[in-house]
Amino acid sequence: MRNLPSRAPRCVALIGLAGLVSVWLSPAAATKIYQYENSAGETVFTDQPVEGATVHEVESAPVIPMEPVAPPEVLTADDLHQPEPAEPGGQSGQTAAPVEPAPATSGTTGVDYEHFQIVAPVDGEVASRMSGSITIELAMQPALQSGDRLRVLIDGRPYVKDSAGKRHLVNGLSPGEHVVTAQIRRDGEVVRETPAVRFQLIMPAQ
Span 26-77, pLDDT tens digits: 445 567 888 888 888 888 878 888 888 898 887 665 555 555 556 666 565 5
Taking alpha carbons only, the member of 43, 27, 24 closest to residue 35 is: 43
Residue 68 included in any domain = no
Residues 116, 172: one domain? yes
CA–CA–CA angle 41, 20, 193 (5° rounding): 120
Residues 45, 110: one domain? no
Residue 85 included in any domain = no
Q: How far is CA 197 from CA 39, 134, 157, 172, in A?
A: 44, 13, 14, 18
Residues 190, 115: one domain? yes
Q: How far is CA 119 from CA 6, 87, 115, 139, 168, in A?
A: 34, 30, 12, 7, 12
Residue 81 included in any domain = no
As a whole number, mean pLDDT of residues 96-109 equals: 45
Residues 112, 54: one domain? no
Residue 29 included in any domain = yes
Residues found in the chain = 206
Distance CA 24, CA 14 (A): 15
Residue 79 included in any domain = no
Q: 123-141, pLDDT tens digit by residue?
A: 998 888 777 889 999 999 9
Domain of residue 16, residue span: 4-58
Distance CA 103, CA 114 (A): 10
Query: pTM of this prediction?
Result: 0.47
The enclosing domain of 135 has a CATH number of: 2.60.40.10
Residue 177 included in any domain = yes
Residue 82 included in any domain = no
Does residue 21 carry a pLDDT above 90? Answer: no
Give the total number of structural domains in the chain: 2
Q: Give me the pLDDT at residue 197, please.
A: 95
Q: Give me the pLDDT at residue 172, please.
A: 86
Q: What count of other Cβ atoms lies within 10 Å of the Cβ of residue 95? A: 5
CA atoms within 13 A on the CB side of 95: 2
Q: How far is CA 181 from CA 41, 69, 176, in A?
A: 41, 21, 17
- Which of 40, 58, 76 is the endpoint of a domain? 58
Residue 38 included in any domain = yes
